[in-house]
Structure 1
Amino acid sequence: MRFHIVIAAVFCCGFADSRKIRGISSSYKRFYRERKSFLCIDGSKIIPFEQVNDDYCDCDDGSDEPGTSACPRGRFYCTNLGFRPHYIPSSRVNDGICDCCDASDEYNSHAHCQNTCWNLGQRERAYVEGQMRTLDEGLQLKQQLIEEGVLLWREKQAQLRELQQAAEDLQIKLEEHRRRKNEAEQTLKALEAGDSGLRHHNNTITSMFQLLDSNKDARITVDELQAKVTVIHDEGRLLSEDEAVALLGGAHQMDLTKFRHTLWDILTKGDRVKIKDTHGSEDSTVGEDSHLKAADRAAKWEATNLKKVEEAYDTVNMEISDLQKKLAIDYGTDWEFLFLNSQCYKLKVYEYTYTLCPFNQVTQENTAGTQVSLGMWGMWAGAPKNHYSQMVYENGEPCWQGGSRSATVTLTCGTETALRSVKEPSKCQYIMDFQTPVACQPVLKQRGIHSEL
């Protein structure tokens, strides 16, 4: 019976002594079980167990003094039941300042510390719960933006196909207008060179016929002929009716077709009769000039039409190029960031107004209205597990110290899309916090307070 009592007493004393070891976490308690000797955790030395926490540093790693300030490299573990546990440097133990919310670091000092762990834990739990609610709402909004992004992507793809079809149609029109312009220019050159061929000849015949056809009824009559034609050797005498009928081939009127094969030859030979007007030859020239002017107008008309089609073709191709550049940007695995394109977000910080236009540029404007580029869209630069968490904008305006300005934008989860903060930790290097629902990640819900509650 006595033997058992002794064993029990030893066990109780050993257990009690091990409980006095302050400044260690539950995962390290196995190293501080009561025994005759203590092995420094780094394996460098073995010391008697009674030298643990004796306020003298024996181990190089400070592991023999977890509850005192004796070792310069030592760490004291704050259990902080109800809040988050953490380590503090052992130099802060019993220094009169409460570092652990459970006051365990000031067990032997004049400081009167209260245990605030429960209140701190409540506040942090409320904060985490708020973050979780924000995350849930953000994820719902993100899903809506994903659906909108997919629809917008399809619309832009359809728009690109329409523009490409329009470009093909304009290409056909362009070739047709170029052909017609070339033909008009060739006709004009031929008229200007006096080599109009059969068409020019026919136009001259038509002009003379129209000169004789006073009432423009497409017929030359006896009266019209008597009014416009005279005998060469007796210009003062009028043609008789019989002479006029004879010139009309025995009829009292003549159309253009018959004129072309009969009277035209008689008038152009000029040995019997001629057109009474002394400016007849000039009238013929006027007719020729009218055709030249018409050809010139036609050439200019075709040139104008060609220019309009060329401008339309160039405009469509520019729109195609711009749209292709936009569609080539990485908008996320589900196009969730597509809605940010063509949007801009502003934030005023002291005397500066910062503007972030995602996938475009970042600018800074002072109160005088002077704007400076802080960088153009460069790339996504987030960690591999969250590639879309950071944007980089490069090649901004030169900095007075040399080099160019740049901006790094970190995307954080939120229920609104807004620019939240701008800082300049080093000269001409800017960092921004940009909040948006599309930055919310489901994996964040697994995070929380990992503590011994």
Structure 2
Amino acid sequence: MHFHMIIVAVFWFGFVDSRKIRGISSSYKRFFRERKSFLCIDGSKIIPFEQVNDDYCDCEDGSDEPGTSACPQGRFYCTNLGFRPHYIPSSRVNDGICDCCDASDEYNSHAHCQNACWNLGQRERAYVEGQMRTLDEGLQLKQQLIEEGVLLWREKQAQLRELQQVAEDLQTKLEERRSRKQEADRLKEQTPRPPEAGDGRLFRGQNSTVTGTFKLLDSNKDGSITVDEVQAKVALVHDEERVLSEDEAVIKDTHGAPGVGEDPPLKVADREWEATNLKKVEEAYDTVNMEISDLREKLAIDYGPDWEFLFLNSQCYKLKVYEYTYTLCPFNQVTQQSTAGTEVSLGRWGMWEGPPKNQYGRMVYENGEPCWQGGSRSTTVTLTCGTETALRSVKEPSKCQYIMDFQTPVACQPVLKQRGIHSEL
């Protein structure tokens, strides 16, 4: 009889001991060391230790029943050796469904659970190792893009300085051209008006009739006028007397002498040439100033502390989702195009809006085309680490509000410890 009592006592203490440590993490085991009494973890009550895990909830926080489903607010700790430990609601304990991969939550049920923690852990470790390799490669690519960004930034600055110098030179030339044009216009206004009809004076001191003019030019009286005769006799009205060139003489022999008050053909051509050149210089000056304004606007954008995002400027990335093609042009705009060809703006570049620890982790594009429900379309772009730069996904969680996943090496961040790997693995 005494022997049987000893066996029962050993069995009871073994049962109580195993019962007390179920559903408890290593960090909470210190609360269950006392064998005489138990203080609820929230400090609200002290109960006899025999009431711990007795399938009756005594503590308001449920801390006295970590291994049973008695407390509505209770939690059961899955140790899951070989995988990630985690808590489940105590209501799932012994409910016939294996929630812990080590099957520890179904210790007193008819469920036949196998320990799957090792296989799950192996798969997760392979995934994490792949992520770490991606991170390492992404960080290497990011460093290259940082170096390229610095060089590109310097090139843009040098380009801006060159454009500014060109603008200064064009401004000087423009002022000269305008001054010359004003002087030409002033001289033209001062030119005497041509004589009234009937006056007919073509040459200084000579009869204005056609016959008189012909006789004046026909020096040898042979009935014809040669180039030499024109050169010898004709001087341009309003010019000092001089000998004409052969080309000028041919012009006058062919078309007749200009009337009083008319500009010589060469002067008219010069004035037209000046006007044309002035227009060209004005157009060039306006074009250069537009380029300067555009370049300054681009350089004013925040491309990251090391200009690592600068390479994204002037680039566009597309992704087809069902009947729509989405296009993301970083630091510019986001668009959506249907199969019918209709394009809709989903927002223009607004700002960086990442969390404090990762300021450059999220882009916001605002003021897209109006939505039929009111307001304008907008897009939030989340940047994720990857070995290539590409638009990965597009979602519309609410009407006219879009979310994009954009992968790029410059989004990779060095970490001290990969999250999700527990020391118990």
- Measured against the shorter chain, the TM-score band is 0.7 to 0.9
Deviation readout 1:65-114 (Å, 9 max, x if unpaired) = 11111111000000001111000000100011000000000000110111
**8 Å contact kept, 1:406–1:429:** yes
Equivalent AA in structure 2 for residue 52 of structure 1: V
Q: For residues 324 and 159 of structure 1, do their structure 2 counterparts lie closer, same or farther at Cα, with a shift above 3 Å needed?
A: same
Higher mean displacement: 152-161 or 184-193: 184-193
What is the DSSP-based 3-state SS (H/G/I as helix, E as strand, rest coil) of the residue aligned with 1:65? coil
**8 Å contact kept, 1:18–1:32:** no
1:332 to 273, 284, 304: 304
Aligned to 1:157: 157
**8 Å contact kept, 2:192–2:261:** no
Aligned to 1:86: 86
Aligned to 1:144: 144
- The whole-number CA distance in structure 2 between the counterparts of 1:20 and 1:254 is 133
- The whole-number CA distance in structure 2 between the counterparts of 1:345 and 1:206 is 81
User: Aligned runs of 1:306-325 on 2, under 5 Å?
Assistant: 306-325=278-297
Cα shift at 1:62: 0.5
User: Are 2:174 and 1:170 aligned?
Assistant: no
Equivalent AA in structure 1 for residue 385 of structure 2: C
- The whole-number CA distance in structure 2 between the counterparts of 1:290 and 1:194 is 7
User: Are 2:339 and 1:367 aligned?
Assistant: yes
What is the DSSP-based 3-state SS (H/G/I as helix, E as strand, rest coil) of the residue aligned with 2:274? helix
What is the DSSP-based 3-state SS (H/G/I as helix, E as strand, rest coil) of the residue aligned with 1:288? coil
Cα shift at 1:224: 6.0
Q: For residues 15 and 346 of structure 1, do their structure 2 counterparts lie closer, same or farther at Cα, with a shift above 3 Å needed?
A: same
Deviation readout 1:129-150 (Å, 9 max, x if unpaired) = 0000001111111111111111
User: Are 2:126 and 1:126 aligned?
Assistant: yes
Deviation readout 1:149-171 (Å, 9 max, x if unpaired) = 11111111111111111101100
- The whole-number CA distance in structure 2 between the counterparts of 1:20 and 1:74 is 15
- The whole-number CA distance in structure 1 between the counterparts of 2:56 and 2:205 is 128
Q: Relative to total residues, which structure has the larger helix share, 1 or 2?
A: 1
User: Are 2:11 and 1:28 aligned?
Assistant: no
Q: For residues 318 and 227 of structure 1, do their structure 2 counterparts lie closer, same or farther at Cα, with a shift above 3 Å needed?
A: same
- The whole-number CA distance in structure 2 between the counterparts of 1:204 and 1:22 is 127
**8 Å contact kept, 1:40–1:63:** yes
User: Are 2:419 and 1:450 aligned?
Assistant: no
**8 Å contact kept, 2:351–2:364:** yes
Query: Which runs of no fewer than 5 residues in structure 2 stay unpaired?
Result: 1-8, 196-201, 223-231, 242-255
Aligned to 2:5: none
- The whole-number CA distance in structure 2 between the counterparts of 1:399 and 1:207 is 84
Query: Which structure would you say has the larger Rg?
Result: 1
What is the DSSP-based 3-state SS (H/G/I as helix, E as strand, rest coil) of the residue aligned with 1:393? strand
Equivalent AA in structure 2 for residue 142 of structure 1: K
Equivalent AA in structure 2 for residue 147 of structure 1: E
Aligned to 2:400: 428
Cα shift at 1:21: 2.3
Aligned to 1:349: 321
What is the DSSP-based 3-state SS (H/G/I as helix, E as strand, rest coil) of the residue aligned with 2:415? helix
- The whole-number CA distance in structure 2 between the counterparts of 1:405 and 1:49 is 61
Aligned to 1:271: none
Q: For residues 361 and 225 of structure 1, do their structure 2 counterparts lie closer, same or farther at Cα, with a shift above 3 Å needed?
A: same
Aligned length: 379
Deviation readout 1:166-199 (Å, 9 max, x if unpaired) = 101100110000011101111111125579xxxx
1:305 to 277, 281, 296: 277
**8 Å contact kept, 1:191–1:292:** no
What is the DSSP-based 3-state SS (H/G/I as helix, E as strand, rest coil) of the residue aligned with 2:154? helix
What is the DSSP-based 3-state SS (H/G/I as helix, E as strand, rest coil) of the residue aligned with 1:315? helix
Equivalent AA in structure 1 for residue 77 of structure 2: Y
What is the DSSP-based 3-state SS (H/G/I as helix, E as strand, rest coil) of the residue aligned with 2:379? strand
Cα shift at 1:291: 2.2
Aligned to 1:107: 107
User: Are 2:390 and 1:399 aligned?
Assistant: no
Cα shift at 1:20: 3.7
Aligned to 1:409: 381
The two structures have a TM-score, normalised by structure 2, of: 0.82
**8 Å contact kept, 1:345–1:355:** yes
User: Are 2:37 and 1:37 aligned?
Assistant: yes
Cα shift at 1:445: 5.2
What is the DSSP-based 3-state SS (H/G/I as helix, E as strand, rest coil) of the residue aligned with 1:443? coil
Aligned to 2:413: 441
Deviation readout 1:380-421 (Å, 9 max, x if unpaired) = 111111111100000011111111110000000000100001
- Identical positions, percent: 80
What is the DSSP-based 3-state SS (H/G/I as helix, E as strand, rest coil) of the residue aligned with 1:347? strand
Equivalent AA in structure 1 for residue 31 of structure 2: F
Cα shift at 1:206: 12
Aligned to 1:236: none
- The whole-number CA distance in structure 2 between the counterparts of 1:287 and 1:303 is 24
- The whole-number CA distance in structure 2 between the counterparts of 1:54 and 1:447 is 36
Deviation readout 1:305-327 (Å, 9 max, x if unpaired) = 11111000000000111111111
Q: For residues 205 and 441 of structure 1, do their structure 2 counterparts lie closer, same or farther at Cα, with a shift above 3 Å needed?
A: farther
Equivalent AA in structure 2 for residue 408 of structure 1: T
Equivalent AA in structure 1 for residue 145 of structure 2: L
Aligned to 2:355: 383
Q: CA RMSD in A?
A: 3.2
Cα shift at 1:40: 0.7
The two structures have a TM-score, normalised by structure 1, of: 0.77
User: Aligned runs of 1:254-273 on 2, under 5 Å?
Assistant: none
Aligned to 2:65: 65
Equivalent AA in structure 2 for residue 310 of structure 1: E
